[in-house]
């Protein structure tokens, strides 16, 4: 059993000293406190691995101490020492966050040793699980060897441990959501929910209900109470994707929520307190939008506490080989294929292309190539014109639907429909590749008579 830092709390000095002596014999660093008030003096997160407290003490009970301690350090492990007649109360303490309880008896020493050993083993497993989860969830974000990615790596590690808002900017397909997830999974909130909402994908009339929730009967069709994204993200992280597309009226309401840390449901009377870390992403120049009156200046500064700017793939081509290897490995695992890298000439062609769709476009091209190849090495010919990677005279090869003399509007329609087909009719991905908002894409499809139902939003329970 590893050495642990333990605090023993109890008003009965004889019992307290007895427990402390048992724990010292087990090799732990042990401190004592005569009551709850003394235990809370200068208490800070990570100070103790384990707190052992008597249930009944003068001034502050063990349950009251438990509640106060959890506010300061939610991760500390807590044990309750109780008499036989207090078992029901001790069980209620476990519901409030205590790991276990120990009954006072002639065999207290033996039970204490066994319970503490079991508790610390459990704590060690939880800590290791969090470490592995963080590593697994975060490592895919750091494929990059240049100075820009090194700086982003350092910034993410720094900001992850605060609750400050973060604004991530960059062209479509540069990996903004991946960085947002890295911030979440490297933070103390990693075991809380990661909730995402695309601000451009919802009609203006529904976005308030989606963000803040609504009460039953708040409007036509509100048949039951609904929690908004802020409530769903309580204790975790909320990703506001494409924040630059949010209507001005909603920007004012969002600013109030960020300032007050409470939301008001549509049709509700009482505000709801929320503990949420907000990360926003944009492919727009928000500073220019502020200057042009399309985005609130006060909201911009509230979101831009930390700014992460992702470089386009054309500025970090040295990362293409690592990204391709990563995608090949992933698609091999997903499909049971055995593709073994790619030919040298193939890599030369990939690095010569500017990738206007950035990493997302590269990922789509590699996926298609892996599916067509299945085994052996990737060759030039599997990156066909429709994947967006073949080049003719330094330009991307055109599709069969384009021809000289067609109007700009005809070419636009052809490009949009071709991109939709390439993305499997996923409008969000198509809009990102085309570098337009989902609202613009939806309006274009209506013009073509091909509008379809909206896609759902994503909620990840971490």
This prediction has a pTM of: 0.58
Give the least confident one: 158-162, 187-191, 398-402.
398-402
Question: Is residue 413 domain-resident?
Answer: yes
Q: What number of H helices and E strands is found in the chain?
A: 18, 19
Tell whether 322 and 246 lie within a shared domain: no
**Does one domain contain both 104 and 148?**
no
Higher-confidence residue of 240 and 441: namely 240
Whether 38 maps to a domain, the answer reads: yes
* Co-location of 160 and 301 in the same domain: yes
Q: How confident is the model at residue 133 (pLDDT cuts 50, 70, 90)?
A: low
Whether the per-residue pLDDT at 144 is higher than 80: the answer is no
Pair (263, 283) in one structural domain: yes
In terms of domains, do 296 and 375 share one? no
Segment 101-126 mean pLDDT: 86
Of the chain, the percentage scoring pLDDT greater than 90 comes to 32
HSE, CB side, 13 Å, CA atoms: give it for residue 98: 27
Same domain, 165 and 106: no
DSSP-derived letter for residue 266 is B
Is the pLDDT assigned to residue 142 strictly greater than 70? no
359 and 446 fall within a common domain: yes
Q: Using an 8 Å Cβ cutoff, are 58 and 11 in contact? A: yes
Torsion over CA: 400, 349, 369, 170 (sign): negative
Of 311, 339, 361, which marks where a domain is finished? Answer: 311
CA-nearest of 285, 272, 131 to 213 is 272
Per-residue model confidence as pLDDT tens digits over 24-44? 998 999 999 999 999 998 788
Over 60: is that where the pLDDT of 92 sits? yes
- Residue pLDDT, tens place only, 365-422: 899 889 889 999 998 888 754 334 433 333 333 444 556 666 777 778 888 888 887 7
CATH number at residue 306: 3.40.50.300
Same domain, 112 and 150: no
The residue that leads in pLDDT, 404 or 119, is 119
Residue-number span of the structural domain to which 409 is assigned: 315-457
Would you state the pLDDT for residue 385?
41
Whether residue 220 is found in the same domain as residue 367: no
Mean predicted lDDT score pLDDT of the chain? 83
State both tokens at 367. Answer: 């996926």
The DSSP element (H or E) to which 92 belongs, if any, is helix 87-95
């Amino acid at each position: 059993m590893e050495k642990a830092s333990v605090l023993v709390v109890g008003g009965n000095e004889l019992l307290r000293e007895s427990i402390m002596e048992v724990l010292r014999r087990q090799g732990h660093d042990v401190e004592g406190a005569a009551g709850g008030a003394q235990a809370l003096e200068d208490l800070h997160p990570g100070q103790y691995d384990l707190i052992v407290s008597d249930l009944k003490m003068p001034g502050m009970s063990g349950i009251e101490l438990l509640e106060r301690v959890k506010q300061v350090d939610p991760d500390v492990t807590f044990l309750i020492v109780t008499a036989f007649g207090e078992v029901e109360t001790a069980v209620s303490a476990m519901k409030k966050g205590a790991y276990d309880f120990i009954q006072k008896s002639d065999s207290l020493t033996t039970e204490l040793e066994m319970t503490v050993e079991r508790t610390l083993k459990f704590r060690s497993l939880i800590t290791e699980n969090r470490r592995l989860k963080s590593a697994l969830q975060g490592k895919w974000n750091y494929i990059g060897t240049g100075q820009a990615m090194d700086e982003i790596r350092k910034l993410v590690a720094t900001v992850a441990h605060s609750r400050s808002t973060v604004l991530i900017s960059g062209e479509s397909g540069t990996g903004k959501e991946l960085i947002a997830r890295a911030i979440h999974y490297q933070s103390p909130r990693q075991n809380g929910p990661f909730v995402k909402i695309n601000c451009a994908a919802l009609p203006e009339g529904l976005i308030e209900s989606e963000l803040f929730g609504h009460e039953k009967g708040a409007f036509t069709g509100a048949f039951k109470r609904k929690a908004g994204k802020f409530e769903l993200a309580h204790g975790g992280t909320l990703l506001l994707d494409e924040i630059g597309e949010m209507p001005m009226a909603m920007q004012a309401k969002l600013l109030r929520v960020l300032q007050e840390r409470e939301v008001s449901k549509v049709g509700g009377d009482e505000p709801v307190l929320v503990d949420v870390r907000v990360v926003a992403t944009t492919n727009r120049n928000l500073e220019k939008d502020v200057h042009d009156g399309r985005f609130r200046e006060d909201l911009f500064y509230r979101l831009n506490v930390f700014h992460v700017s992702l470089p386009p793939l054309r500025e970090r081509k040295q990362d293409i080989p690592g990204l391709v290897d990563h995608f090949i490995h992933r698609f091999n695992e997903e499909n049971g294929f055995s593709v073994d890298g790619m030919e040298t000439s193939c890599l030369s062609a990939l690095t010569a292309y500017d990738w206007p769709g950035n990493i997302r476009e590269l990922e789509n091209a590699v996926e298609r190539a892996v599916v067509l190849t299945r085994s052996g090495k990737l060759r030039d010919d599997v990156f066909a014109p429709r994947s967006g990677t073949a080049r003719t005279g330094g330009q991307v090869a055109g599709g069969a639907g384009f021809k000289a003399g067609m109007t700009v509007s005809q070419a636009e329609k052809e490009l949009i429909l071709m991109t939709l087909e390439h993305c499997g009719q996923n409008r969000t991905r198509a809009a990102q590749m085309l570098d337009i908002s989902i609202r613009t894409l939806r309006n274009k499809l209506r013009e073509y008579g091909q509008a379809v139902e909206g896609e759902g939003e994503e909620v990840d329970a971490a």
